[in-house]
Structure 1
Amino acid sequence: MSTMINTFHSSFNPPPVPPRPGHRGGPALPSNTPLVKFLSVLLLLLMIQTFGGFLYLFHRINMLQDRRNDNEISTLKQLQQCADNLEYENVPFCNKLVENFKTVIKKVSQAEGRVALLIETGSSTTPQANMVLSVTSQSKMKNQSNTLLWDGSHSVMDKISLSTSGALTIHYPGYYLIQSKVTFSKAHEKATLGQTIWTQNTKVGNPTKLLESYCSLPRYSTIPDLCTASQTGVFRLEKGQTLFVNVTDRHLLHLDSTTFGLFRLQD
């Protein structure tokens, strides 16, 4: 006799029922929709305020420009009235108006001059000179003045002229930076090695000493050596004033290392 096993009964619990679609097992998260709306409104207000500020500034600038143009037109009309009908009672007012107009023109001219000086290309508008020695002239010169003679063809000069005697002539007055470097290759038997920059305002006046410097080398030394006397200064130079450099003995110079220069700083 066979025994049948009932397979429809089990001691295990049935599997859990799967969750339905759209059902959340945990608690509902709080919504941030009000915060997003608040930030959106705030951003919109800031954009409107910024745009309104730009509109106000643009309108204000236009108003000021129109007012300035009206003032300029009014000033020109007043000048024209002074020119057409100059009566005794209007003379003080017209004089004051003309003086103000001259002041403005002077300031504009000065500003235009500075801009032109900065942007101009090609030849410089500033008087300047960078001088080098003439090799042949130093040996051919027979006088005892020991004035340095510059090579005009190899030197740089702008609005400054050079004479055959070695003097530089100023054509534009102002404050000039003067630099001089004189190098000696031998010692003098008796005198101290040095250089002196002289200036002369007129052809008949006596020269005036501007700068002076010295250097030393051992006498009777067989070892080649060099010494340099250099000097720098700022001086007020007038139109027609001349400059020249004297040395102890130009036959003792190291020609390639001897230079002279000046540059106008301001009027």
Structure 2
Amino acid sequence: MINTYHTSLPPPPVPPRQGAHRPATGRATPLLWFLSVVMVLQMGVTFGGFVYLFRKSSTISQAAEKVGFLSGSVPFQDSGVVAHMAPESDSGSFTSKTLKWNRAHSLLVKVTYLYTPGALKILIPGEYYVYSQVTFSKMHPKAPLFHSIVSRRSMENKVLLRAYASLNNEKPLTSFQGGVFKLEKDEELSLNVTDTSLVNLEVTSTTFGLFML
């Protein structure tokens, strides 16, 4: 039998095979752009958080150092040069106005203590923070109460700092002073008071020291 059926329509398309993927068109979908923007923003927020925490910790450290200075503690850097002196218990028996210090109970690193003049001798020149704290427990009948940090260089004495105090109702009074100075090799520093017999010589009440910046 001869098939005489003819048509001019094209044949139907072949159905896609299972597992085949549509080729990429080269354009990102809106969802992909959104996710990219979110990731960039998250990275920026994370980096900003680290910067904020770093600056905050630095500010706290600086504040702690300032509190240490005001409280009379020894907040020194790791320069290797430091002195923090404990008072000699019988300093009040000396006629001199210079306080004496107990070497065995003091902190001395790369600084020499000369007992006879009661002075700290600088071995390494540089810029130093020098401080003193004195507690007076008695009044003087005529002279005002004070403590002075005195520098001796080339047989010449110079007052670096002086603080005055005034007792009220005969109660002990503590005064603190400190400052930054450029000190030379072999320069000697001592602490003078109105009268050594008026000073409270407890370790936590009276002290003298320095550290290199």
Same fold by TM-score greater than 0.5: yes
Residue 94 of structure 1: aligned partner: none
Shift of 1:125: 5.5
**How much is the aligned-residue C-alpha RMSD, in angstroms?**
2.3
Shift of 1:39: 8.3
C-alpha change, 1:173 and 1:38, in structure 2 (3 Å) is: same
* 1:186-225 mapped onto 2 (5 Å cutoff): 186-202=138-154, 205-218=155-168, 221=169, 225=171
Number of matched pairs: 142
SS at match of 2:176: strand
Shift of 1:179: 1.2
SS at match of 1:153: strand
Name the structure with the higher helix share. Answer: 1
SS at match of 2:24: helix
**Structure 2 segments unaligned to the other structure (5+ residues):** 1-19, 29-77
Distance in 2, Cα, partners of 1:211 & 1:234: 10
Read off the aligned partner of 2:165 and give its amino acid letter. C
SS at match of 1:183: strand
Distance in 2, Cα, partners of 1:140 & 1:232: 27
Distance in 1, Cα, partners of 2:93 & 2:146: 21
Match of 1:260 among 180, 204, 208: 208
Residue 38 of structure 1: aligned partner: 24
* 1:64-213 mapped onto 2 (5 Å cutoff): 126-136=80-90, 138-141=91-94, 143=95, 145-164=96-115, 165-202=117-154, 205-213=155-163
Distance in 2, Cα, partners of 1:239 & 1:166: 17
Q: With a CA cutoff of 8 Å and minimum separation of 6, indicate the structure with the bigger relative contact order.
A: 2
Match of 2:187 among 217, 241, 250: 241
Residue 74 of structure 2: aligned partner: none
Name the structure with the higher strand share. Answer: 2
SS at match of 1:251: helix
Residue 134 of structure 2 contacts residue 176 of structure 2 at CA under 8 Å; is this kept in 1? yes
Residue 93 of structure 2 contacts residue 197 of structure 2 at CA under 8 Å; is this kept in 1? no
Distance in 1, Cα, partners of 2:25 & 2:180: 67
Residue 131 of structure 2 contacts residue 176 of structure 2 at CA under 8 Å; is this kept in 1? yes
Shift of 1:254: 1.1
Shift of 1:228: 1.5
SS at match of 2:118: coil
Distance in 2, Cα, partners of 1:179 & 1:130: 9
Shift of 1:170: 0.1
Distance in 2, Cα, partners of 1:229 & 1:187: 14
Residue 120 of structure 2 contacts residue 190 of structure 2 at CA under 8 Å; is this kept in 1? yes
Distance in 1, Cα, partners of 2:92 & 2:146: 19
SS at match of 1:255: coil
**Identity %, equivalent residues:** 39
Distance in 2, Cα, partners of 1:149 & 1:261: 13
**Structure 1 segments unaligned to the other structure (5+ residues):** 1-31, 43-123
Shift of 1:178: 0.7
Distance in 2, Cα, partners of 1:174 & 1:125: 11
